[in-house]
Amino acid sequence: MTKLENPVLMATIGGAQGLRGEVRAKAYTADPAALGDYGHLHSMDGRSFEILEIREMKNMVVVRFRGINDRNAAEALNGLELYIERDNLPDEELEDDEFYYADLEGLEARDDKGVSYGTVTGVFDFGAGDLLELKGPGKRPVLIPFSEASVLEIDLEAGTLLIDPLAAGLVDDPEEAPKFTPDKPKKKK
């Protein structure tokens, strides 16, 4: 049983494929066949899965795991999400303008005046480009485009995103942007 400290979703298992225990899986890697390059995959309930064979099939992969030898065992895995530890992802292969979605979650979105628009709570791709979900205290979540026009700078070490609220669609007019007011201690009555 392995408990992951910083899990990153790598694949979701679909239905069984054939009679030998293979499963279809949706891989969330740039190269779906590279799913086996990250070592053992883990489920949130602590199970570990070693990939023995993997092949591409249309927009998914077909995987055979060690210990899953028949169709019944494969069917029992349907819908299971598989993760790896964030530290197992290769940072040295990233370009300067590339990021893992997991690294963006939790960053605070601010404009050039220091006004906070919330923190990134999710990264989504519904087919027309990446979107960042921002959630602020007492505010409803909003989606902004993850583009060069909307997100001007990413500082992982400081934990912040510099955004353009106009390009992100958060304000209609730059004069409507909220004004920065630093938190002041409240006086007791």
Amino acid 176: pLDDT: 61
pTM, 2 dp: 0.67
Which of residues 48, 63, 86 is at a domain's end? 86
The verdict on 20 and 50 lying in the same domain is yes
Amino acid 174: pLDDT: 63
Expressed as residue numbers, the domain containing 53 is: 5-86
- 68 burial (CB, 10 Å; 0-12 / 13-18 / 19+) is buried
Count of domains observed in the chain: 2
Let me know if residue 21 belongs to a domain.
Answer: yes
Contacts of 45 (CB under 8 A, 6+ apart): none
Amino acid 23: pLDDT: 96
Which of residues 28, 62, 86 is at a domain's end? 86
Assign residue 153 the CATH number of its domain.
Answer: 2.30.30.240
Q: pLDDT tens digits, the chain, 189 residues: what are they?
A: 567 777 888 999 999 998 999 999 999 888 888 888 888 999 999 899 999 999 998 889 999 999 999 999 999 999 999 999 888 887 777 777 777 888 888 999 999 888 899 999 988 878 788 899 999 888 899 999 998 899 999 998 899 999 998 888 888 776 665 555 445 444 554
The verdict on 62 and 127 lying in the same domain is no
